[in-house]
Copies of this chain bind each other. A is one copy, B any other.
Amino acid sequence: MSAPTGNIAIDGDRMWATIMETAHIGATPKGGICRLTLTDLDRQVRDWFRASCEAAGCTVAVDDMGNIFARRPGRDPSLPPIAIGSHLDTQPTGGKYDGIIGVLAGLEVLRSLNDQGYETNAPIEVIDWTNEEGSRFAPAMLSSGVFAGVFDTTYAYAREDRDGKRFGEELTRIGYNGSIPCGSHTLGAHFELHIEQGPILEAEAKTIGVVTGVQGMRWYEVHVTGSEGHAGATPMRLRRDALLGASRMVAAISDVARDNAPDAVATVGLLESRPNSRNVVPGSVFFCVDLRHPNDAVVAVMEAAMRQKLASIATDAGLDIAIDCVWDSPAVRFDPDCIESVRRAADLAGYGSRDLVSGAGHDSAYIARVAPTTMVFVPCEKGLSHNEAEHTEKADVIAGANVLLRAVLETDQRLAERVGRAA
């Protein structure tokens, strides 16, 4: 590959200071951030981002989903931009890194390229995707979804928060309903730096996760119905204990993941028992199941095994059961060339790395439908995210940003060479 990508580096101190500066916008007493999408705090960080990008010489455009595109021109304006995107919104008890480092590392890439007078072939575009978190307006990844054609703006504008405020109205209220139709421009590639949100990199002491895709995932809601009874007066043989049955189901669901080791995960994260009184045999239980695997065919196998096991447990215990699949998100495979550029960038810099399949959803999962895409993961302490205690080491964020920079520049070379326009 061409020489520059091996030598160029971002200014780690500047990037870290920028992360800590914007962390004041919506800062929580426990050290996290509460910056829900389309609130005044979201407007404040957007205004800051826009001004910072303009100060870095970028042209800033906003589309009709509020996605912000800050473009640093390249040598060849006919080439589609290479994008670096993530999100600046947070969970209600969010951390300082989830999403944010992806956007601010992009800003640092722009600044570093400026500092070093580096001219890319294609434009570089740093993107703040609107409403990745989905905690104020469900579903998550709404605006990258519109960009990728998964949702339309009519659907998106009608999303309501718990106070009945609509996405479209709030977007206009904060002044970010732009004139560009969402999804109307092509991206040459899309890279996203993100914290892992899992414990693997930390457990294996790796700095960089080379993200090869996003797991397929399905969500289920399960209702188990037995009958209530007095805890003292109902013999074991006459019970139809919904919680006892549900407990056997929780264990069986875990077995489904273990039967598809090592990549399968299965989780019962939410369970509610009724009437939930210490001396009443539970009459009904509601629980949610989350099944994931990088291969959709395996997810289907897992679902079939789960349904068989749960039905069998219900029958044995005299319980009624209803299982509804409420969400089915197919697996995503990222672009092999983009993946390879991340892997090579990590190797060149001497960072320990390993391939990972993202367990969480990300804007990149949707953008992968319309542009060559991949992600760069960095470790986060104890795998913790969506938590004010979320923490990532400064050195790891800097490493991730350098990998991002080099992967972007290599991709810029590669794409320009492909059309015969490399410098």
User: Which A residues are closer than 8 A to B by beta carbons?
Assistant: 196-200, 203, 215, 217, 219, 227-238, 241, 243-244, 246-248, 250-251, 254, 257-258, 261-262, 264-273, 276-282, 288, 290, 292, 358-361, 382-387
Residues of B within 8 A of A235 (CB): 198-200, 262, 265
User: How distant is A89 from chain B, measured CB to nearest CB, in Å?
Assistant: 17
Residues of B within 8 A of A251 (CB): 244, 247-248, 251
User: How distant is A380 from chain B, measured CB to nearest CB, in Å?
Assistant: 9
Contact partner of A279 (CB less than 8 A), chosen from B203, B229, B290, is: B290
The complex places the Cα of A290 from the Cα of B385 at a distance, in Å, of: 37
Establish whether residues B243 and A250, one from each chain, have CB atoms under 8 Å apart when the complex forms.
Answer: yes
The complex places the Cα of A244 from the Cα of B247 at a distance, in Å, of: 8
The 8 closest A-B pairs by CB, nearest first: A198-B233, A232-B359, A233-B359, A247-B250, A278-B288, A247-B247, A231-B267, A197-B233
20 contacts between A and B (CB under 8 A): A197-B230, A199-B238, A200-B235, A203-B238, A215-B232, A219-B278, A219-B279, A230-B383, A230-B386, A231-B290, A234-B265, A236-B266, A238-B383, A243-B269, A244-B268, A247-B248, A267-B280, A269-B277, A269-B282, A278-B288
Establish whether residues B199 and A232, one from each chain, have CB atoms under 8 Å apart when the complex forms.
Answer: no
Residues of B within 8 A of A217 (CB): 232
The complex places the Cα of A387 from the Cα of B197 at a distance, in Å, of: 46
Residues of B within 8 A of A231 (CB): 265, 267, 269, 290, 292, 359
Residues of B within 8 A of A276 (CB): 269-272
